[in-house]
A and B are shown apart, each in its own frame.
Chain A
């Protein structure tokens, strides 16, 4: 998909942005008011830019020079909004059928039974939207968008109104959807945890401009991405490759590295899994250390050092980027610099599955 649009809002806000993406899941990340939602609205056709061009696959959705502007119903994009926006006068099934009935691409047939089973909403089909929980409503909204057979799925902070544990569950459903239907997703969020959780490819937006783009690990190492808010929101969220168990002990594997996980934390049943811990819970040493109570010692390379107040955040490459928070003094005494090899100690009790 190609996007290049300019728009001047009545409030004085200017959006001028160009990007191309062909990844299966691209996240548009930026603070509130940076113009993220407007981008999705322009692609969906519910907001018309002053000028520019939007191309999806081989179809031109909008081109101000050639005077092309497809109405929303002909654009072939599904939109999942921040609020579920289910039709209150229709049952869950009625909502799904509305999407299917007005399907834009007849050749793309969606099996409603399959949608309902992947999203686990079969028991809800006869219920009215107002009797569903927030997470259930958002799953139905996702199902309704899928039923319309979109060529691209736009998601505007779809889980921001849900509580933490529910967020990750709903995102788990999104993983399944991408896997099952191979529909590319453009996902808007201002939450750091969500980006780390779902994205491989990120567009960083600020004040209506694109300031960085690329692989999620790289983008967040750049200066542009390291505003104070970004640091505050920083939490180690590592994608794990497998989980093993020896006696009572559960291990999460990141490549060849193995981390012992808190006995109180149990892994999710299936799908992508992550472990989470605070940067403050990471101890850093120049040499391999023995005789400590910390269960986890993993080796890594320092890729960045970011001063934040009286602390320093170290980005340590352990196969993925992991952050460690140290005091200024500790950092000086350790005599570490970019490229230093370090040993990281993490207590098992700090590491949790999410």
Chain B
């Protein structure tokens, strides 16, 4: 493996961990709202949240590019306030991964909130806990397996993110070139398919690890539910 391959692996892990972690609090809040609300606009929020799941990632990336380019609505704001542009940087790769993996995290956490016994929350309230302490002390710990599973799904999805990333972050070696982009680049160069193999194996290995960890969490969750 070349130094560039190692850079791609390290970059991919950083991007995936950051994307899954930074979006987690938002995912928990949205999942909680979706699990508990009867708001008439619930369907709209749910549709928007799930959109990246079905939208071609390239389209998601294109929209992000439009929004975050220095002349775009959010990009110009960032530029004016902080003098930064995130397009074609490492930050854009994190953003793209976070957006694309967001619905997976929300869904896993939402299911966990829906499956937990709401009477336990009533019990907590009658014991004197406020809504917020009940959420932190009862609802969230009871949904912990779902939260962990959601993080893991987001992490795994972020590792494989390609379309949106290449649109908004580009394919700059050592800067924004994650594992999938590096494999693509190898294959596109002369005699490159041979050099792609190590990264392909790493990608398979990481995916297997994520699946095994996911299965372990699921077994823990179902055991604690059946108790």
Residues of A that sit less than 8 Å from B by CB? 44-46, 71-73, 75, 77-79, 81, 83, 85, 87-89, 98-99, 102-104, 130, 144-145, 148-149
Contact = CB atoms under 8 A, between A and B. Distances in A.
Given A85-B119, A88-B142, A130-B227, A98 B126 contact: no
B142 A144 contact: no
* Nearest 8 interchain pairs by C-beta: A102-B128, A72-B125, A130-B227, A79-B126, A102-B129, A104-B128, A85-B123, A148-B127
A83 B129 CA distance: 19
A54 B216 CA distance: 49
24 contacts: A45-B125, A46-B125, A71-B125, A71-B130, A71-B131, A81-B119, A81-B123, A83-B119, A85-B117, A85-B123, A87-B120, A88-B227, A89-B224, A98-B124, A98-B129, A99-B127, A102-B124, A102-B128, A102-B130, A102-B133, A103-B128, A145-B126, A148-B126, A148-B128
B86 interface: no
B141 interface: yes
Given A46-B122, A83-B119, A98-B137, A88 B127 contact: no
Contacts, number: 66
Given A46-B122, A81-B119, A83-B119, A88 B224 contact: yes
Contacts of B217: none
Contacts of B224: 88-89
A264 to B, nearest CB: 39
A72 B122 contact: yes
Nearest to A75: B126
B138 interface: yes
Contacts of A83: 119
Interface in B171-224: 224
Interface residues of B, number: 21
Interface of B: 117, 119-120, 122-131, 133, 137-138, 141-142, 144, 224, 227
A105 to B, nearest CB: 9
Contacts of B129: 73, 98, 102
Given A81-B119, A88-B142, A88-B227, A99 B128 contact: yes
Contact of B127 (A45, A71, A130, A145): A145
A73 B117 CA distance: 19
A88 B227 CA distance: 9
B132 to A, nearest CB: 10
Given A79-B122, A99-B127, A148-B126, 13 more contacts: A45-B125, A46-B122, A71-B130, A71-B131, A72-B125, A72-B126, A75-B126, A77-B126, A85-B117, A87-B138, A99-B128, A102-B133, A104-B128
A40 to B, nearest CB: 10
Contact of A44 (B117, B126, B227): B126
Nearest to A73: B128
Contacts of B124: 87, 98, 102
Contacts of B131: 71
B128 to A, nearest CB: 3
B21 to A, nearest CB: 23
A89 B128 contact: no
Contacts of B120: 85, 87
Contacts of A102: 124, 127-130, 133
Contacts of A75: 126
A263 B123 CA distance: 45
A46 B227 contact: no
A201 B78 CA distance: 70
Contacts of B125: 45-46, 71-73
A71 B126 CA distance: 9
Nearest to B134: A73
A72 B224 CA distance: 28
Nearest to A85: B123
